[in-house]
């Protein structure tokens, strides 16, 4: 039973021949707008793909794929959105990382392009990029000629263990590897359900597990006995775009089974299902875990730490004179407040391009903090700290903020050197418009 909400990966297909959305986001502006919307709806990261891997899809060159995805990845990354690139091509993966992607999602696990492991290793070492290793036996075959498993769970687990070992040997940080059982990739629907039922065996390898069941044919097959409806007068399995409710159910069950993440098209529906699952799970655990029970949508601290950039900008000892305090004389006379602010922001792009636009201007950050502290008085420095955190998270690219407010002249009737309050907030916890 999982105690932490899985990461929600929102699918963004920048392709004209996607099986699920009909190329609705093949234009860059539409794709960028959709990526922003996915985050607004609750996606933790956006998975941008420029080549369909559906059966019968036309292969796309790395050059054409990059023309589709790089402008979208760059635009989303500049807005501080966590982005992964869904690609089979090492050249595209490298270019996507340079554009701001912090995840490489290769459904072949590096088997399609033998240069992929080297690219993933370099990105892991230089930019703390994570590598999602999928299981496949090739482009999906609708006839299931390659779906001849004696024991699909043990064979997929063994194959992914081998790919993870190869990735680590190539130099990929083991802490940044995620495994995906590859539902629909040369697996029948029945085999896909067996893999989901056997997720514990995959988790036993020690790596996070991503479940990508969204709108897959296995869901349509599971719904085949449904009665007719106005949208399906003859009954039968639901077409791809009508499988979102079934996907949300799988997401909730995957969360209960301990999945690290779910890859979905319908983010809003999945977030609702996960909230219900988390509330139910918290109730099963009882009152011994009140912190989790009170916040069913939170991602645990370890998960957040692995997904946020390790880079930091720190501003300490910023002095601001303001009129906060519980006592009337504090508000009337005012006093000094010292502010320490540490923001997590990916600095790889700024360093590579020597570009101020790709980092946080600490002078502007200092001015914004000073303005926030100096405005309307409040009773508590806790409130001041929360206000500053919200301001810091408003800067493009900032994924988390650690704010400490010091009150060295506080009216305390004993000798002391300082009193302070520290809050830690991330972009997921910030109220969305």
CATH of the domain at 248: 3.20.20.20
Instruction: Answer whether residue 1 is part of any domain.
Output: no
317 shares a domain with 267: no
Which among 302, 337, 368 is the end of a domain?
302
Q: Is 169 exposed, middle or buried (0-12, 13-18, 19+ CB in 10 A)?
A: exposed
For residue 84, give the nearest of 161, 180, 3 by alpha carbon.
Answer: 180
Domain extent at residue 342: 308-429
Active-site choice (68, 137, 187, 216): 216
220 shares a domain with 367: no
Instruction: Answer whether residue 2 is part of any domain.
Output: no
Residue 399 is a catalytic residue: no
317 shares a domain with 168: no
Structure tokens at 38: 């996915």
Question: How far is the CA of 196 from the CAs of 157, 159, 256, 383, 387, in angstroms?
Answer: 12, 16, 11, 45, 43
151 shares a domain with 109: yes
389 shares a domain with 353: yes
pLDDT reported for residue 148: 86
- Using DSSP's 3-state secondary structure scheme, residue 288 falls into helix
DSSP 8-state assignment for residue 251: H
Structure tokens at 339: 């502010």
Instruction: Answer whether residue 349 is part of any domain.
Output: yes
Beta bridge partners of 263: 9
HEC secondary structure over 168-210: HHHCCCHHHEEEECCCCCCCCHHHHHHHHHCHHHHHCCCCCEE
250 shares a domain with 365: no
Spatial separation of the C-alpha atoms in residues 165 and 161, rounded to whole Å: 6
Instruction: Answer whether residue 103 is part of any domain.
Output: yes
pLDDT reported for residue 352: 78
Beta strands in 87-158 (DSSP E): 103-106, 130-134
298 shares a domain with 224: yes
HEC secondary structure over 348-408: HHHHHHCCHHHCCCHHHHHHHHHHHHHCCCCCCHHHHHHHHHHHHHCCCCEEEEEEEEECC
pLDDT reported for residue 4: 66
315 shares a domain with 287: no
User: Residue 411: CA atoms inside 13 Å, Cβ hemisphere, count?
Assistant: 12
| pTM of the shown model | 0.65
Active-site choice (163, 217, 263, 304): 263
Residue 203 contacts by C-beta under 8 Å, 6 or more apart in sequence? 209, 258
Instruction: Answer whether residue 250 is part of any domain.
Output: yes
283 shares a domain with 385: no
First to last CA, the chain: 33
Q: Which residue has the tokens 């099963």?
A: 284
Residue 187 is a catalytic residue: no
Q: In a structure prediction context, what are the per-residue pLDDT tens digits for the chain, which is 433 residues long?
A: 445 689 999 999 998 744 455 455 558 899 999 999 999 999 999 999 998 776 556 778 889 999 999 999 999 999 889 999 999 999 999 999 999 999 999 999 999 999 999 999 999 988 889 999 999 987 766 666 778 899 999 999 999 999 999 999 999 999 899 999 999 888 889 999 999 999 999 999 999 999 999 999 899 888 887 776 665 544 446 677 788 999 999 999 999 999 999 999 999 999 999 999 989 888 877 664 444 433 433 334 444 444 555 688 999 999 999 999 988 888 888 899 999 999 998 887 788 778 888 889 999 999 999 999 998 899 999 999 999 998 998 888 888 899 999 999 899 888 888 899 999 988 755 543 3
Structure tokens at 114: 């033998």
Q: Give the strand pairing for 335-345 and 312-322.
A: antiparallel
Q: CA torsion 342→348→349→352, rounded to 10°?
A: 130
412 shares a domain with 263: no
Structure tokens at 69: 């995805």
Instruction: Answer whether residue 110 is part of any domain.
Output: yes
Which among 280, 302, 324 is the end of a domain?
302
334 shares a domain with 238: no
Helix (H) / strand (E) element for 220: namely: helix 217-222
Q: What is the CATH classification number for the domain harbouring 370?
A: 3.30.1130.10
Q: Which residue has the tokens 């270019």?
A: 95
335 shares a domain with 298: no
Output the average pLDDT for the chain.
85
Letter string b/e over residues 188-202, b meaning 16 or more CB atoms within 10 A of that residue's CB: bbebbbbbbebbeeb
Question: How far is the CA of 175 from the CAs of 47, 298, 303, in angstroms?
Answer: 20, 21, 11
Spatial separation of the C-alpha atoms in residues 270 and 248, rounded to whole Å: 5
> In the chain, how many domains are there?
2
Q: What is the pLDDT of residues 349-401, one digit of tens each?
A: 788 778 888 889 999 999 999 999 998 899 999 999 999 998 998 888 888 89
Sheet hosting strand 398-406, strand order edge to edge:
312-322, 335-345, 398-406, 420-426
Which among 302, 326, 349 is the end of a domain?
302
């Amino acid at each position: 039973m999982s105690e932490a909400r899985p990461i929600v990966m929102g699918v963004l297909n920048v392709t004209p021949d996607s099986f699920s959305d009909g190329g609705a986001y093949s234009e860059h502006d539409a794709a960028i707008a959709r990526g922003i919307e996915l985050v607004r709806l609750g996606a933790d990261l956006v998975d941008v793909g420029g080549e369909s891997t559906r059966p019968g899809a036309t292969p796309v060159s790395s050059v054409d794929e990059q023309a589709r995805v790089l402008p979208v990845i760059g635009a989303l990354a500049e807005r501080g959105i966590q982005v992964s690139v869904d690609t089979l091509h090492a050249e595209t993966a490298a270019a996507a990382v340079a554009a701001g992607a912090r995840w490489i999602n290769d459904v072949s696990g590096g088997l399609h392009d033998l240069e992929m492991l080297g690219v993933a290793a370099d990105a892991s070492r230089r930019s703390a990029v994570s590598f999602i290793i999928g299981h496949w036996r090739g482009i999906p075959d609708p006839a299931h000629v390659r779906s001849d498993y004696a024991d699909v769970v043990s064979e997929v687990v063994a194959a992914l263990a081998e790919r993870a070992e190869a990735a680590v040997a190539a130099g990929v940080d083991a802490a940044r590897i995620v495994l995906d059982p590859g539902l629909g990739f040369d697996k029948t629907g029945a085999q896909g359900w067996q893999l989901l039922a056997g997720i514990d065996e995959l988790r036993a390898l020690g790596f996070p597990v991503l479940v990508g069941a969204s709108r897959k044919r296995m869901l349509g097959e599971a719904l085949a006995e449904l009665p007719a409806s106005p949208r399906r007068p003859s009954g039968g399995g639901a077409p791809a775009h009508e499988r979102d409710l079934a996907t949300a159910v799988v997401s909730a069950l995957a969360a209960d089974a301990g999945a690290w993440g779910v890859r979905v098209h319908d983010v809003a529906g999945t977030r609702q299902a996960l909230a219900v699952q988390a509330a139910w799970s918290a109730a099963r655990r009882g009152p011994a875990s009140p912190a989790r029970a009170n916040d069913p949508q939170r991602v645990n601290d370890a998960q957040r730490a692995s997904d946020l950039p390790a880079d930091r900008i720190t501003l300490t000892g910023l002095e601001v004179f303001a009129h906060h305090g519980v006592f009337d004389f504090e508000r009337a006379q005012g006093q000094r407040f010292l502010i320490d602010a540490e923001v997590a922001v990916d600095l790889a792009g700024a360093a590579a391009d020597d570009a101020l636009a790709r980092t946080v201007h600490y002078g502007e950050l200092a001015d914004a903090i000073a303005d926030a502290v100096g405005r309307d008085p409040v009773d508590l420095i806790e409130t001041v700290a929360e206000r500053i955190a919200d301001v810091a998270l408003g800067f493009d690219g900032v994924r988390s903020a650690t704010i400490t407010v010091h009150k060295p002249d506080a009216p305390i009737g004993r000798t002391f050197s300082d009193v302070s309050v520290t809050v830690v907030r991330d972009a997921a916890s910030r109220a969305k418009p």
